[in-house]
């Protein structure tokens, strides 16, 4: 049965103060990013977990260069048989994603034939192609990261800003150039497995155990924590809030001085990454090491550092046991088909690439634009260093080319207030908008976001959460096996991720690559969305953390402090209410509050 969630509240024609649609004409391949309109009511839109804080005006480059250029270009180039990629609509500052369907049966068939011809060549050359693309991105990154921005003349700074945007766009072209054929290859493998009676839970375990760049960063974090423990710094970390740790360590002297030197070494190698997915508003760990220090602080509460070698060995053992079990029950003909499909998906392994690509693309590519925007703010006499992220791209270019920032100061203040209002609203934003008709027509979108009839039903269900005094059980996708028990920590973005304590259950919309360090200390993970190929599912399996995805409204129904039992094999989340629910209900809609900032 289809469901419809009205877009009317978000299609009132209001948006960021001072937005000029005529001046702001971003690139797109098939369909442009824009605010919701009434015409979007009949399409399916899913609240996008990649930007849980919402997007600042300058942050729109993420969606413009990502879905509306890179994804659409990649889908057309491959081509994807059933879709032209993803587009976005904006509800306040929050992006919703929607597939762009191919509706003509003839065109679908033609695209399918082209994709089937091209896919084997991609699989055969995947690792060589990926190395070429990494070299390309690293070369551009090393140049951009090596420029001393304060030394640039004004015209040179404007040129740097434009080059940083080109790097951003090119990186996202590469992202989807690689992602779509990898996903299509995995879907083909899934089709073979289903025909052979092999379930998705088994299929996911066949791809465990490959080392990634993200895992290497986590290992380095563990070594940093072990060094703090060995230096006798655990009491200082325990007594100091994360935001104050850098100052406290510098003042402590002694062994703290040596540990800070190790921190500097860590940041030089791993610190050029953000706490979110290509968002120009977010600082790197080098700029603000609070997430690193906060993570070390909570890791020191563990009785011992996690054993990543043991976790990886267990993942490999689980993989081989799953393969042995399947091969033992297949006849020779089906076994040959299975092994051929497995060889293809192992040669071009999306589950490995999902984490491997993130330090190269998602977690760093917005930083050069951020550096340029902050340098422009400093030269223009901005009141706050991040004022320029509240300018739209054409406005920032104009300031870079000599226009005064001061006349925009009022707009910046209004836009900042608008952003903060919508940031507060995030926990209560509808999970879907528009009609669910056709929501499952794009198998790649369904696979990554975990879409199913059950999830759509849970996401579109309205009404209050369960009574505060009652226990209840949520059902979702069994993403990573095991049973985890602990108190819930509900997060809608990564701002407080470093504060998660050992043994807590992480409850979130869905995890992104920057959330991986939390998996070293949590007892379980529960996500509103996400399929078997989502980041949370993959990392949960690799780290041995019980994980249930595609629960629908877990972040709305579970409260901080609830006692939670996550059964990653059954796909259930049992909740025992331990906290008093918040009072006040849903925040007022934008129209009721617009006088506060307009």
Q: What is the pLDDT of residues 175-206, one digit of tens each?
A: 999 999 999 999 999 999 999 999 888 888 89
Question: Considering the chain, what percentage of its residues have pLDDT values greater than 90?
Answer: 77
First to last CA, the chain: 41
Cβ-contact 482, 570 below 8 angstroms: no
pLDDT of residue 598: 29
User: Would you say how long the chain is, in residues?
Assistant: 598
Distance CA 157, CA 374 (A): 11
pLDDT of residue 306: 82
* Secondary structure (3-state) at 489: strand
Instruction: Report the range of poorest mean pLDDT among 219-223, 386-390, 460-464, 577-581.
Output: 460-464
Distance CA 596, CA 598 (A): 6
How far is C-alpha 151 from the chain's CA centre? 34
- The stretch 533-559 carries a mean pLDDT of 92
Token pair 């706490």: residue = 275
**Which residue has better confidence, 467 or 128?**
128
- The stretch 551-569 carries a mean pLDDT of 94
Q: Tens digit of pLDDT for each residue in 407-421?
A: 999 999 999 999 999
Q: Nearest CA to 27 among 75, 92, 72?
A: 72
Contact residues for 425 (Cβ-Cβ < 8 A; gap 6+): 92, 94, 587
Instruction: Report the range of poorest mean pLDDT among 289-303, 426-440, 450-464, 568-582.
Output: 450-464
- The stretch 562-584 carries a mean pLDDT of 82
Q: Assign residue 484 a region: left if phi > 0, alpha if psi is -120 to 50, beta otherwise?
A: beta
Q: What is the dihedral of CA 279, 269, 346, 318, to 10 degrees?
A: -100
pLDDT value at 583 more than 70: no
User: Would you place residue 550 in the very low, low, confident or very high pLDDT band (cuts 50, 70, 90)?
Assistant: very high
Distance CA 95, CA 418 (A): 15
- pTM score, two decimals? 0.92
pLDDT of residue 229: 96
Which residues does residue 87 pair with via DSSP β-bridges, in sequence order?
98
Return the CATH fold of 465-576.
Glucose Oxidase; domain 1 (3.50.30)
pLDDT of residue 462: 53
pLDDT of residue 245: 97
pLDDT of residue 463: 47
pLDDT of residue 145: 98
């Amino acid at each position: 049965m289809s469901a419809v969630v009205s877009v009317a509240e978000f299609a009132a024609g209001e948006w960021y103060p001072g937005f000029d649609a005529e001046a702001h004409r971003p690139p797109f391949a098939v369909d442009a990013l824009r605010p919701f309109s009434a015409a979007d009511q009949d399409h399916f839109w899913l609240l996008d977990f990649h930007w849980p804080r919402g997007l600042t005006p300058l942050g729109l480059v993420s969606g413009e260069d990502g879905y509306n250029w890179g994804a659409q270009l990649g889908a057309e180039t491959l081509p994807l048989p059933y879709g032209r990629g993803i587009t976005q609509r904006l509800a306040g500052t929050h992006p919703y994603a929607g597939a762009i369907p191919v509706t003509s049966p003839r065109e679908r068939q033609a695209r399918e034939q082209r994709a089937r011809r091209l896919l084997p060549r991609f699989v055969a050359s995947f690792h060589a192609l990926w190395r070429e693309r990494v070299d390309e991105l690293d070369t551009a990154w090393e140049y951009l990261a090596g420029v001393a921005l304060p030394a640039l003349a004004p015209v040179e700074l404007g040129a740097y800003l434009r080059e940083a945007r080109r790097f951003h766009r090119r990186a996202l072209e590469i992202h989807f150039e690689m992602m779509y054929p990898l996903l299509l290859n995995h879907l083909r493998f899934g089709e073979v497995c289903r025909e052979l009676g092999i379930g998705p839970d088994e299929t996911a375990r066949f791809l465990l155990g490959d080392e990634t760049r993200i895992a290497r960063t986590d290992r380095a974090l563990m070594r940093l924590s072990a060094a703090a423990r060995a230096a006798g710094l655990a009491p200082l970390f325990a007594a100091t809030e994360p935001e104050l740790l850098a100052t406290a360590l510098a003042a402590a002297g002694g062994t703290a001085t040596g540990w800070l030197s190790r921190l500097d070494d860590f940041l030089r190698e791993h610190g050029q990454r953000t706490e979110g997915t290509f968002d120009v508003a977010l600082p790197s760990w080098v700029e603000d090491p609070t997430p690193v220090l906060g993570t070390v602080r909570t890791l020191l509460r563990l009785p011992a550092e996690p054993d990543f070698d043991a976790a990886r060995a267990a993942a490999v053992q689980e993989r081989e046991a799953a393969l042995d079990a399947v091969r033992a029950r297949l006849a020779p003909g089906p076994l040959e088909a299975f092994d051929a499909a497995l060889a293809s998906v192992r040669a071009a392994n999306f589950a490995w690439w999902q984490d491997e690509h993130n330090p190269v693309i998602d977690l760093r590519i917005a930083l050069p634009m951020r550096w340029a925007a902050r340098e422009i703010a400093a030269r223009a006499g901005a009141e706050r260093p991040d004022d320029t992220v509240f300018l739209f791209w054409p406005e920032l270019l104009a300031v870079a080319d000599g226009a005064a920032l001061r006349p925009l100061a009022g707009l910046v203040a209004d836009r900042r207030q608008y952003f903060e209002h919508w940031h507060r609203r995030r926990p209560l934003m509808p999970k879907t908008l528009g009609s669910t008709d056709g929501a499952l027509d794009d198998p790649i979108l369904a696979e990554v976001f975990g879409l199913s009839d059950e999830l759509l039903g849970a996401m579109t269900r309205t009404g209050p959460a369960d009574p505060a005094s009652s226990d209840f059980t949520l059902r979702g996708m069994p993403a990573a096996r095991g049973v985890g028990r602990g108190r819930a920590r509900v997060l809608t973005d990564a701002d407080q991720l470093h504060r998660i304590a050992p043994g807590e259950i992480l409850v979130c919309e869905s995890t992104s690559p920057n959330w991986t360090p939390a998996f070293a200390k949590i007892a379980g993970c529960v996500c509103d969305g996400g399929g078997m190929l989502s980041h949370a599912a993959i990392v949960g399996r690799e780290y041995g953390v019980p994980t249930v995805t595609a629960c629908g409204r877990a972040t709305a129904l579970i409260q901080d402090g609830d006692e939670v039992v996550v059964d990653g094999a059954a796909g259930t989340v049992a909740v025992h209410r331990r906290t008093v629910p918040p009072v006040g209900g849903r925040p007022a809609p934008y129209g009721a509050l617009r006088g506060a900032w307009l």
